[in-house]
A and B are shown apart, each in its own frame.
Chain A
């Protein structure tokens, strides 16, 4: 079971709410995914409207909202948006995303660290979205992040785990859960992330724009489960340890 801050999760698949063809399809897909943590962009929802199309489709006991700060460009804007989200959505959980580059949506490491320091003081449970930078992950951990969310490849690119070598270092070093976010394009990518020891993955585009989002959500659910099982079962090593025909250490027996 995965624990982040005060919550435990049966499902290690976190999901998003963007890009779906309708709120009804989104709801059905999220239910099929079994996801218990669902991120919602403050910019997309009307927090003052009880009938908001997205929010009203997320009212299930097992689904926790993870508001995100998409759209902000600085730490200052992020802190302001976070406080609004906390008040309106009644959760102190936050996916901190500061991507001042609207083309590739690359996260700003400097502003993210500053905002994490601020928000930690204000009592937020912070999950920052960042590049797969091991040092930054340690700095965020020290600043009070409850998990780190390094990217596999650019958001929405479906390119898979292009950063895998750095993800492995982050997973090895991290004291907080590591959630691989962004770029996961197929269930096999999600399974791979889980196999290398990620604590969870966050998937949105690959489910939302699939030909059948509901079936794809279930496929991701199974892939995440199977990847985690494989990780826990300890995957056999790939190295070639065959015995050489003339053993280098055979002389030891003769001494």
Chain B
């Protein structure tokens, strides 16, 4: 049994219809319920909830403060490679995109690490494309061994791996893995991923199961907003989260909600999501699940991020580079996507403090994962 079976019980169109049929009475019931169900979540992401943004924001902020206190977690991505054998219509690293490919060597990684450390980071997110000939589990093992002494917490956003590969990486200090489904709409998924291993929808869909079975401490889910109807895609994300929490109860979870960003020659979003709608989604996730971590990257603008940290978001990045070598080795190379908030980590930390929160750089310890 995996999420595939649970997923098969739902039809995209039926879910979408149900969401769009929600009324203000459904929204009010969801807002006042002591425990919220998936049905309540549908109401909270529905068009009917648009008029309830302020009470949703108030509730979301209150629930977030109770669980996470007055703190915001800080992390930063470290792009190791832009080699990729997949075609993804929306990504700067897509196989058919003419960019110079680079995979960082050990010494280059350490140069990047120096810069990241000097910014104050203790939590690093390792990012790659998918190039199984060069950027494979042996490469990751070597990288983890090099990186681990420098950081309290190491996360990864790389190609989906097999369970036994995760089991090899976790004892080397791998704390969390992010794997976004991009969209739960199968036909649309096929359209956006015509070539490469990523074209296999089900292998990706079952990745969180493999991570849970391998005993990962934390995993991150999400969809790329702009590919399909965001309300329906978010429902499936919530469904996935619910299934995973019950099945792999020793793992903690985080959600991201990246909106499609432009890159040279890339796809325009099919479905636009405006700022009000993104706030609605953030609050809906929080009201639905009081414990899940919500993460917001530098894709979003300064002003938007300044406010979102007070509405439910619990972790953010700052000073990010989305190109391999971007911090020190080759700052001018092509980025995966354009970032929007270009403030330094120190400026972001200052903003967080001024908002009445403590920026948390360290919330894990390398010694908490035993290497045996």
Contact = CB atoms under 8 A, between A and B. Distances in A.
Interface of A: 18-23, 42-46, 71-73, 76-77, 80-81, 84, 100-104, 156-158, 205, 208-209
B66 interface: yes
A103 B353 contact: no
Interface centre among B66, B122, B218, B357 (most CB of A within 10 A): B66
Contact of A76 (B218, B291, B353, B370): B370
Ordered nearest first, which 3 A-B pairs have the shortest CB separation? Answer: A19-B69, A21-B70, A102-B252
Interface centre among B356, B362, B365 (most CB of A within 10 A): B365
Interface of B: 65-71, 122, 152, 218, 245, 249-252, 291, 353, 356-358, 360, 362-365, 367-370
Contacts of B66: 156-158, 205, 209
Contacts of B218: 102
Contacts of B369: 77
A102 B251 contact: yes
B366 to A, nearest CB: 10
Contacts of B249: 100-101, 103
A103 B365 CA distance: 19
B311 to A, nearest CB: 16
B291 A103 contact: yes
B64 to A, nearest CB: 10
A46 B366 CA distance: 11
Contacts of A103: 245, 249, 252, 291
A81 B364 CA distance: 12
A205 B69 contact: yes
Given A20-B358, A43-B363, A101-B249, A81 B69 contact: no
Given A73-B250, A101-B250, A208-B69, A22 B358 contact: yes
Given A19-B69, A156-B67, 20 more contacts: A18-B69, A20-B70, A20-B358, A22-B353, A23-B358, A42-B365, A43-B152, A43-B362, A43-B368, A44-B362, A44-B363, A71-B364, A76-B370, A77-B369, A102-B251, A102-B252, A104-B291, A209-B65, A209-B69, A209-B70
A101 B249 CA distance: 6
Q: What DSSP secondary structure best describes chain B's contact surface?
A: loop
Contact of A77 (B70, B353, B356, B370): B370
A20 B369 CA distance: 26
Nearest to A49: B362
Contacts of B122: 46
A22 B251 CA distance: 28
Q: What DSSP secondary structure best describes chain A's contact surface?
A: loop
B103 to A, nearest CB: 31
15 contacts: A19-B69, A19-B70, A21-B69, A22-B358, A42-B367, A43-B364, A44-B363, A71-B364, A71-B368, A76-B370, A77-B368, A100-B250, A102-B291, A103-B245, A209-B70
Contacts of B353: 22
Interface centre among B65, B250, B368, B370 (most CB of A within 10 A): B368
A81 B245 contact: no
A104 B291 CA distance: 8
A111 to B, nearest CB: 11
B69 A20 contact: yes
Interface centre among B68, B362, B363 (most CB of A within 10 A): B362
Nearest to B71: A19
A103 B246 CA distance: 10
A157 B290 CA distance: 11
A72 B368 contact: yes
A80 B171 CA distance: 14
B34 to A, nearest CB: 12
Nearest to B245: A103
A101 B291 CA distance: 11
Nearest to A84: B367
Nearest to B355: A21
A223 B245 CA distance: 38
A18 B251 CA distance: 21
Contacts of A157: 66
Contacts of A156: 66-67
A224 B66 CA distance: 22
B357 A21 contact: yes
A100 B122 CA distance: 23
A71 to B, nearest CB: 5
B288 to A, nearest CB: 13
Contacts of B252: 102-103
Contacts of A84: 367
A43 B218 CA distance: 15
A80 B367 contact: yes
Nearest to A41: B363
A80 B250 contact: no
B253 to A, nearest CB: 8
A208 B70 contact: yes
A55 to B, nearest CB: 12
